[in-house]
């Protein structure tokens, strides 16, 4: 049997698919990890402690999962939603009452957004509690802070889109608070709203930020964040 496995793993066909022998020794096991497009995201070796659910509670992975869910459900909502002060509110009502599974996808998107903020904050608390922000991971902590700000930005910009009373007044209050920022306050408000008050220009800007700008930066920075986890030697538990 052993010689058959040996013969297969040495054959040209096997070698054309896999650049390693049968993974029954440390070298071939390492090669399995480094030559596979999916596995190479993981370090070659991990400490058992870092695999314990109670170390990270998988909160970072849960946040990534929620981001992907939001991207998918958000794309589906875009098929029925038009960012216009005349249409937006009606589009949401139609989506909820007449579009098959419309209410389900809207609710998945809304609950997913709340949960993503919660998961990112809990993940940050876990990283702090386990001291995983310390060198060499301080850069990734910084990336995490930007990710949290972007996540909050996605929630804030999405809030205006249903164009109901709650959205209108929440964004009116939110942008008024932003205008009290010293030096840049008035400019920030103007950039966000595109005019003196919440209207069509604000809706257009919030829509562009919500469906394109913020998700693009989130996707890019999540990739950087996970790559950094890999390059910093996996989770911090590996070092203790």
Least distance CB 87 / ligand HEM (angstroms): 31
How open is the CA angle 38-43-49, to the nearest 5 degrees?
Answer: 120
Task: Give the separation between CA 152 and CA 145, rounded to whole angstroms.
Answer: 11
Q: In terms of CB distance, is 124 or 202 closer to ligand HEM?
A: 124
Least distance CB 60 / ligand HEM (angstroms): 2
Least distance CB 168 / ligand HEM (angstroms): 28
Least distance CB 40 / ligand HEM (angstroms): 15
Q: End-to-end alpha-carbon separation of the chain, Å?
A: 40
Q: In terms of CB distance, is 67 or 81 closer to ligand HEM?
A: 67
**Quick one: which of 128, 140, 122, 119 has its CA closest to 67?**
119
Asked if 71 and 215 touch (Cβ cutoff 8 Å), the reply is yes
Q: In terms of CB distance, is 28 or 239 closer to ligand HEM?
A: 239
Burial class (CB in 10 A: 0-12, 13-18, 19+), 92: buried
Task: Give the separation between CA 39 and CA 202, rounded to whole angstroms.
Answer: 44
Which structure tokens are listed for 40? 């190479």
Buried b (16+ CB within 10 A) or exposed e, 130-152: bebbeeebeebbebbeebbebbe
Q: In terms of CB distance, is 15 or 230 closer to ligand HEM?
A: 230
Least distance CB 115 / ligand HEM (angstroms): 12
Q: In terms of CB distance, is 88 or 140 closer to ligand HEM?
A: 140
Least distance CB 122 / ligand HEM (angstroms): 10
Q: Given the rule CB under 6 A, which residues bind ligand HEM?
A: 56, 58-61, 63-64, 67, 120, 123-124, 127, 130, 132-133, 137, 140-141, 144-145, 147-148, 151, 222, 225-226, 229, 235-236
Residue nearest to ligand HEM according to CB distances in the complex: 144
Q: In terms of CB distance, is 71 or 226 closer to ligand HEM?
A: 226
Task: Give the separation between CA 133 and CA 124, rounded to whole angstroms.
Answer: 9
Q: What are phi and psi of 234, to 5 degrees?
A: 80, -165
């Amino acid at each position: 049997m052993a010689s058959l496995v040996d013969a297969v793993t040495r054959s040209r066909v096997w070698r054309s698919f896999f650049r390693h022998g049968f993974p029954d020794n440390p070298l071939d096991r390492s090669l399995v990890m480094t030559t596979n497009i999916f596995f190479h995201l993981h370090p070659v070796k991990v400490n058992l402690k870092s695999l314990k659910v109670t170390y990270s509670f998988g909160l970072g992975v849960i946040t990534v999962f929620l981001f992907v869910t939001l991207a998918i459900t958000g794309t589906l909502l875009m098929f029925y939603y038009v960012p216009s002060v005349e249409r937006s509110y009606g589009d949401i009502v139609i989506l909820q009452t007449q579009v098959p599974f419309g209410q389900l996808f809207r609710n998945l998107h809304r609950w997913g957004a709340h949960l993503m903020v919660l998961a990112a904050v809990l993940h940050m608390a876990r990283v702090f509690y386990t001291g995983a922000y310390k060198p060499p991971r301080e850069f990734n902590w910084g990336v995490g802070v930007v990710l949290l700000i972007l996540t909050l930005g996605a929630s804030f910009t999405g809030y205006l889109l249903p164009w109901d009373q709650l959205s209108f007044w929440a964004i009116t209050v939110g942008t008024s608070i932003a205008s009290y920022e010293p030096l840049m306050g008035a400019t920030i408000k103007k950039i966000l709203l595109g005019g003196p008050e919440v209207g069509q220009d604000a809706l257009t800007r919030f829509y562009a930020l919500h469906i394109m700008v913020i998700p693009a930066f989130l996707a890019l920075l999540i990739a950087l964040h996970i790559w950094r986890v890999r390059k910093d030697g996996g989770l911090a538990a590996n070092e203790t």
